[in-house]
Each structure stands twice: as structure tokens, then as C-alpha cells.
């Protein structure tokens, strides 16, 4: 990336006044219905926060967004696999270097298991460094006589059931930016500065994982990788010169939900005139905000970042093709990922017609499977949870339908944490309903813990290979 490019992406060029062909500008979403937006009680404070955000440095730059698009083009063409993973909602409270490291560790472990067992390059994308806003099924929550705004993620308000905590506060937009910036900084340091070096492959196996069956299986692969590295060195290959052994590309993503935040971080690349949402490398539109004529799709249609859209069971083939036409009019491989999240038992019924319609339309999308959001239920003890078996069942059907149709099952999208939590049921270590309250710490949806995540990666690797 040239200095000019950096200057352009980093400059405080704001888009509201700058029109581009087709009438899009960074604020054109404001003329459309925007679902899932908080009722900010103080308009002036919101404007001040937006103005402040628009002066802050970009978190990512145009060249990075283009590199990720190019890696995703490999996925679209069946030459690579996408692993997108992280928290359901990042938290202002649970924010530490250790938590970031442990999340990265488990994603690196999963990528090793997938690469080694399935022999395909893995494009690694975190739900991280910006995943602070949540769509909700109801705008308010009532307990007894008290009705308050629903919790919408730490970018908006706090989960405590108190009037002050639930009031949307624009200062949180700035706080989210700063937490995203320091998270991304540490991720860049870890992935480029030694931690992700393949010679540390053993160190990614955390203690509570190493003692499990999947941890031991991982250790076997790690030993084989060590041997392969020693073999290459003995053959006279200069391992130090092989950048791919020492650094990994790790990309950030979040749901582009709070459009005031996304608009304020959207900047123009001075070299090309392209608009880039500099809040993350990849942005996605959620199941509840993917209306073709809605504000979210309007906003995303104008930025050059790679995009994704969640596709739930109610999506019709026409809707999905309409979304492709709006978000990927040029039919660019890597531009658009469709993430299906139908729920176990629904894939064979719903996926084939979508695959046919999208193929017919000529959009070279990446197909990924989110086996989490269609499989959430409330346990008898009142905890939101998911069964590992349902998650695997949805994934198996996703692979089977793609195989039968001759399309590439391009990726998985999962909610996980590096911690030893008890939020999802089952898995090799068998978490039961009674165990859920032991270590249930998510701010929103239940996540796979590190063992369940590694277990899932091994099983997905088998599906990929078969």
C-alpha cells in the first residue's frame, strides 16, 4: 500500500456530501428504513460521537480489504476454506490480553487441524475487534412491572437490568472503537510478531485442552508438523526465509449493525476513490437486517470491503438473488459470502433451491454454514444453549447438499471462546444441562469452548476430506 493510499484511507474525508454514481454516499442509508437501531435518547450527543469517530484513524485500510477479497475469491473457486469465528458479542467487561490470545489460539489450532487433515488453505476471519452490537427479537424487555430497552451490545448499552444501564449511550461508540483498536493491535502483534509462528504449534494447545482426546489428537499433528519442519531444514531449505511458516493473515469482521458507527469509519481511498468501511476487513449483514431495500444493504452496497449476508430459513430464492444483485452487481469472486443458518434438519429442504437460484444468477459467492444461530434454545434452567450434535448435524447436511449439487462448501461460521466455558451442550467432554451454570459467561449467545471448537474442527476436516 502506498503512502498516498494510506493517507487517503486515513484522512478525515467524510462521505455525506460526496455523491457517487447511483446515488450512494456514506449517508444514503439514512433515507431507507433501518431495522434494529437503538432509540438514542440524546441526538446531539450522538452527533458529537459521530463527528469524533470520523476524525479517528482507520482501523483497517483499503489494501487489506482487497487482499481479503482476493483470498475469499480462492474460497469461491473451491481452492480454500473459510473459518470465521469468535464471540457472539464482545464485551467491555471481559477484555484482556489473555482472552484475546486464547481466542486466537483456538482459531489457529482449528486452522491447523483443518489444513493438516483436509489439505486446503484456511482463510481465518475473527468475529472480533468490533463485534459489539446485537440485533434483538424485541426492542424492550419486561421483568415484573419494569419495562426497559433491550440489551443491544456494549456499543449501545449494558446488560444490567437497570434504567441507566439500558439507556443507549453514544459515548459507547467511541469506547467500542478504542477497544477494537487495541484488540486489533494485539492481534496484529501476535500474528506477525512470533506467536503464530508454526514452530509454536504446541504452545497453542492450552492445558485444559491438551488433556482431552481432541487435545491429544492435536498434539499428534503438532508433532508431525515439527518433524516435517526438521525434515525440510535437514534438506537445506531455509525455513527463516519462508514467511508463511512464521506469520499468518488474520482478518477482522463484525455485523455492520449500528450504521452511525460504520458511516463514521468509512473513508475514501485517495488513489482509487473507492469507499472503504475502515472499522473491519469484512462486514456482514444479519438475518434481521438484510432487507434488499433497507438501510443496511444500501450502506454495504457502496463500500469495497468483502461482505457477507446471513441467510435464515425464511429467505426465498428471489430474495437471496436480489441481495446478490445489490451487494455483488459486478459478480466479483470473493466479494460476497452467503452464510446459511437454517437449523439442524432444515438444510436438505432449504439449501438446494438457493444453490440452484444463485448458480443460475451467475454470482460467484462463497457458501458458508453458520450451524449455531438456527440451533439455539432455552434449557429448562432458563439458559440459552445449543447442542453440539445439532451443530454437527447442520454441518453434515451442509456438506452433503453441496457435494450432491457440485458446489463448494466454502466455510464455517461459529461462535466460540478460548475459555473453558459451559455454554453449549455435549461434545466429546459431555456438558449436560445441569452443568450449564458452572461457567456461563457469554454476554449474548452460547459459545463453543476451546475443546468443543477443536473437536468441531477435526470433524469438519473429515467432512472436507471425504
Residues in contact with Co ion by the rule CB under 5 A: 88, 445
- In the list Co ion, ligand PEP, none, the entry touching 149 (Cβ below 5 to 8 angstroms by class) is none
- In the list ligand PEP, Co ion, none, the entry touching 48 (Cβ below 5 to 8 angstroms by class) is none
- Write the DSSP assignment of 417-438 as a string of letters: -SS----SBBTTTTB-GGGTTT
CB of 447 to ligand PEP, least distance (A): 10
What distance in Å separates the CA atoms of residue 274 and residue 283, rounded to the nearest whole number? 16
| Residue 315 CA from chain centroid, whole number | 21
- In the complex with ligand PEP, which residue's Cβ is closer, 269 or 390? 390
Helix (H, G, I), strand (E, B) or coil at 275: strand
CB of 288 to ligand PEP, least distance (A): 6
Report yes or no: 445 and 384 within 8 Å, Cβ to Cβ: yes
- In the list ligand PEP, Co ion, none, the entry touching 409 (Cβ below 5 to 8 angstroms by class) is none
- In the complex with Co ion, which residue's Cβ is closer, 88 or 114? 88
Cβ count near 218 (within 10 Å): 25
Q: Which residues pair with 336 in a beta bridge?
A: 307
CB of 413 to ligand PEP, least distance (A): 8
- In the complex with ligand PEP, which residue's Cβ is closer, 206 or 375? 375
Look at the block and give the residue holding cell 456438558.
Answer: 431
Q: Which residues contact 184 (CB under 8 A, 6 or more apart)?
A: 59, 60, 129, 252
- In the list Co ion, ligand PEP, none, the entry touching 290 (Cβ below 5 to 8 angstroms by class) is none
Strand (E) positions, 6-157?
Answer: 81-86, 122-127, 140-143, 146-149
- In the list Co ion, ligand PEP, none, the entry touching 296 (Cβ below 5 to 8 angstroms by class) is none
Q: Which residues bind to ligand PEP, rule: CB under 6 A?
A: 88, 135, 286-288, 310, 341, 373, 445
DSSP-assigned letter for residue 236: T
Q: Residue 374's closest CA among 398, 399, 355, 358? A: 398
- In the complex with ligand PEP, which residue's Cβ is closer, 89 or 225? 89
CB of 442 to Co ion, least distance (A): 9
Helix (H, G, I), strand (E, B) or coil at 406: coil
CB of 167 to ligand PEP, least distance (A): 22
CB of 376 to ligand PEP, least distance (A): 9
- In the list ligand PEP, Co ion, none, the entry touching 341 (Cβ below 5 to 8 angstroms by class) is ligand PEP
- In the complex with ligand PEP, which residue's Cβ is closer, 50 or 445? 445
Q: Residue 66's closest CA among 1, 21, 10? A: 1
CB of 373 to ligand PEP, least distance (A): 4
- In the list ligand PEP, Co ion, none, the entry touching 363 (Cβ below 5 to 8 angstroms by class) is none
Helix (H, G, I), strand (E, B) or coil at 84: strand
- In the complex with ligand PEP, which residue's Cβ is closer, 287 or 328? 287
Q: Residue 169's closest CA among 151, 142, 147, 145? A: 151
C-alpha cell at 50: 459521530
- In the complex with Co ion, which residue's Cβ is closer, 50 or 445? 445
Amino acid at each position: 500500500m502506498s503512502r498516498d493510499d494510506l493517507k487517503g484511507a486515513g484522512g478525515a474525508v467524510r462521505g455525506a456530501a460526496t455523491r457517487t454514481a447511483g446515488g450512494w454516499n456514506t449517508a444514503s442509508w439514512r433515507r431507507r428504513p433501518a431495522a434494529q437501531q437503538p432509540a438514542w435518547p440524546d441526538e446531539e450527543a450522538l452527533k458529537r460521537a459521530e463527528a469524533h469517530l470520523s476524525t479517528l484513524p482507520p482501523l483497517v485500510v483499503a489494501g487489506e480489504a482487497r487482499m481479503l477479497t482476493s483470498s475469499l475469491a480462492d474460497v469461491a473457486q473451491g481452492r480454500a476454506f473459510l473459518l470465521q469465528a469468535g464471540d457472539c458479542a464482545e464485551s467491555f467487561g471481559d477484555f484482556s490480553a489473555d482472552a484475546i490470545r486464547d481466542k486466537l489460539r483456538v482459531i489457529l489450532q482449528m486452522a491447523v487441524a483443518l489444513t493438516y487433515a483436509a489439505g486446503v488453505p484456511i482463510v481465518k476471519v475473527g468475529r472480533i475487534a468490533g463485534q459489539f452490537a446485537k440485533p434483538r427479537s424485541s426492542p424492550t424487555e419486561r421483568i415484573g412491572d419494569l419495562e426497559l430497552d433491550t440489551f443491544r451490545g456494549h456499543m449501545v448499552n449494558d446488560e444490567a437490568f437497570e434504567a441507566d444501564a439500558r439507556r443507549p449511550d453514544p459515548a459507547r461508540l467511541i469506547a467500542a472503537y478504542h477497544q477494537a483498536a487495541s484488540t486489533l493491535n494485539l492481534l496484529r502483534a501476535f500474528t506477525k510478531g512470533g506467536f503464530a509462528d508454526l514452530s509454536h504449534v504446541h504452545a497453542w494447545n492450552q492445558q485444559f485442552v491438551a488433556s482431552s482426546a481432541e487435545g491429544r489428537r492435536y498434539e499428534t499433528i503438532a508433532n508431525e508438523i515439527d518433524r516435517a519442519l526438521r525434515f525440510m531444514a535437514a534438506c537445506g531449505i531455509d525455513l527463516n526465509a519462508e514467511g508463511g511458516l512464521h506469520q499468518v493473515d488474520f482478518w477482522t469482521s463484525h455485523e455492520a449493525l449500528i450504521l452511525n458507527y460504520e458511516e463514521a469509519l468509512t473513508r475514501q481511498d485517495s488513489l482509487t476513490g473507492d469507499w472503504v468501511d475502515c472499522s473491519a476487513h469484512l462486514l456482514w449483514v444479519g438475518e434481521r437486517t438484510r432487507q434488499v431495500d433497507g438501510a443496511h444493504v444500501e450502506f454495504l452496497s457502496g463500500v469495497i470491503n468483502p461482505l457477507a449476508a446471513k441467510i435464515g430459513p425464511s429467505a426465498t430464492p428471489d430474495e437471496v438473488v436480489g441481495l446478490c444483485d445489490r451487494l455483488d452487481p459486478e459478480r466479483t469472486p470473493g466479494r460476497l459470502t452467503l452464510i446459511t443458518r437454517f437449523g439442524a434438519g432444515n438444510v436438505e429442504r432449504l439449501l438446494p433451491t438457493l444453490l440452484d437460484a444463485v448458480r443460475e444468477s451467475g454470482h460467484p459467492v462463497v457458501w458458508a454454514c453458520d450451524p449455531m444461530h438456527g440451533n439455539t434454545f432455552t434449557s429448562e434452567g432458563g439458559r440459552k444453549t445449543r447442542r453440539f450434535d445439532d451443530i454437527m448435524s447442520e454441518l453434515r447436511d451442509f456438506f452433503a447438499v453441496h457435494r450432491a449439487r457440485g458446489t463448494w462448501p466454502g466455510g464455517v461460521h461459529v461462535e466460540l471462546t478460548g475459555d473453558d466455558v459451559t455454554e453449549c451442550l455435549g461434545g466429546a467432554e459431555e456438558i449436560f444441562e445441569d452443568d450449564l451454570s458452572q461457567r456461563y459467561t457469554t454476554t449474548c449467545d452460547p459459545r463453543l469452548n476451546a475443546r468443543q471448537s477443536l473437536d468441531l474442527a477435526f470433524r469438519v476436516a473429515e467432512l472436507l476430506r471425504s
